[in-house]
């Protein structure tokens, strides 16, 4: 696995925050839960994990900025670096006792995502990637699926829920994809969806209305695993548009074509 100083810093921060999340996951009934928007919940566990991540990363790399799910944008004295952090990707799963969620940390340097860590504390699966150094799951190098036949591909997506826009567009896209593939999955954690494409569990994935902290780490994971990534319009502004279509070269290309035809 990658042992660079920056990956070591990111991994240490994620592991420390994960210990807190695991404790809280085991005591769901004691969590204080507040509502910050329709269908969008934030828990005490979420806020605690974000605080831990910020403290550890600030100590290791003073001056770096932050883009935080809960804390918003924090400008740093080093304007060339900033962290994109989702302390609990899959909050709704977490709050319902579903053991499928993750911590996601991506590092942006001069406008490019150059390192990413996604950790699933329940399955103890650590996905790491650094630009030019490959992508790994725990200590094993990972690659995207080699499957080229769209009809036998397993595709992941995210379903817009209460408070989200794009329901009509999604229904059209879903109708186009589901009749052409072996199956569609919706697990409710975007960072893990992308990580699963990177390691070949899914052949492709698409979703709209995402934030940078949902996908920053996944971008470098996927690219270092040999994957292809675009926004929903086929461009390269994934972070800016908050949409993603990814997979190996063949599947991603066909998935983009199917989505365009469906709209």
Residue 39 has pLDDT above 60, yes or no: no
Burial of 82 (0-12, 13-18, 19+ CB in 10 A): buried
233 is in an annotated binding site: no
98 annotated among ligand-binding-site residues: no
Q: Does domain 5-141 have CATH number 3.30.540.10?
A: yes
The model's pLDDT over 153-211, given as tens digits with 9 standing for 90+, comes to 999 999 998 888 889 999 999 999 999 999 999 999 999 999 999 999 999 999 999 99
Q: Is 78 one of the annotated binding-site residues?
A: no
Instruction: Spell out the residues 6+ positions from residue 194 whose beta carbon is closer than 8 angstroms to its own.
Output: 118, 205, 215, 217, 218, 219, 221, 222, 244, 246
Domains of the chain, residue spans: 5-141, 150-262
Identical fold between 5-141 and 150-262: no
CATH match for 150-262 among 2.30.110.10, 3.40.190.80, 3.40.50.1860, 3.40.190.10: 3.40.190.80
Q: What digits encode the pLDDT tens for the residues 49-102?
A: 999 999 999 999 999 999 998 889 999 999 999 999 999 999 999 988 899 999
Taking residues 243-259, report their average pLDDT. 98
The reply to whether 86 sits in an annotated binding site is yes
3-class DSSP string for 227-250 = CEEECCCCCCCHHHHCCEEEECHH
Whole-model pTM: value is 0.94
89 is in an annotated binding site: yes
Confidence of residue 219 (pLDDT cuts 50, 70, 90): very high
Between 182 and 32, where is the model more confident? 182
């Amino acid at each position: 696995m990658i042992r660079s100083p920056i990956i070591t810093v990111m991994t240490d921060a994620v592991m420390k925050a994960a210990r807190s999340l695991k404790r809280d996951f085991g005591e769901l009934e004691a969590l204080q839960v507040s509502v910050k928007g329709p269908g969008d919940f934030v828990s005490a566990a979420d806020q605690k994990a974000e605080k831990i991540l910020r403290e550890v990363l600030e100590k290791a790399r003073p001056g770096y900025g932050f883009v935080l799910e809960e804390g918003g944008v924090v400008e740093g004295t080093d304007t060339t670096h900033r962290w994109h952090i989702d302390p609990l990707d899959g909050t709704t799963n977490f709050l319902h006792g579903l053991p499928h969620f993750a911590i996601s940390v991506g590092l942006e340097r001069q406008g490019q995502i150059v390192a990413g860590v996604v950790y699933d504390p329940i399955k103890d699966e650590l996905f790491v990637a650094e630009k030019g150094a490959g992508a790994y799951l725990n200590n094993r190098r990972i690659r995207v699926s080699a499957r080229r036949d769209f009809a036998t591909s397993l595709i992941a997506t995210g379903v817009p829920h209460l408070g989200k826009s794009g329901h009509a567009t999604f229904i059209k896209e879903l109708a186009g994809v589901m009749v052409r593939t072996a199956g569609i999955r919706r697990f409710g954690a975007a960072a893990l969806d992308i990580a699963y494409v990177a390691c070949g569990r899914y052949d492709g994935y698409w979703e709209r209305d995402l934030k940078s902290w949902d996908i920053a780490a996944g971008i470098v994971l996927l690219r270092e695993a040999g994957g292809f990534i675009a926004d929903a319009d086929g461009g390269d502004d994934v972070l800016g548009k908050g949409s993603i279509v990814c997979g190996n070269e063949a599947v991603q290309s066909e998935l983009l074509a199917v989505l365009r035809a469906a709209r």
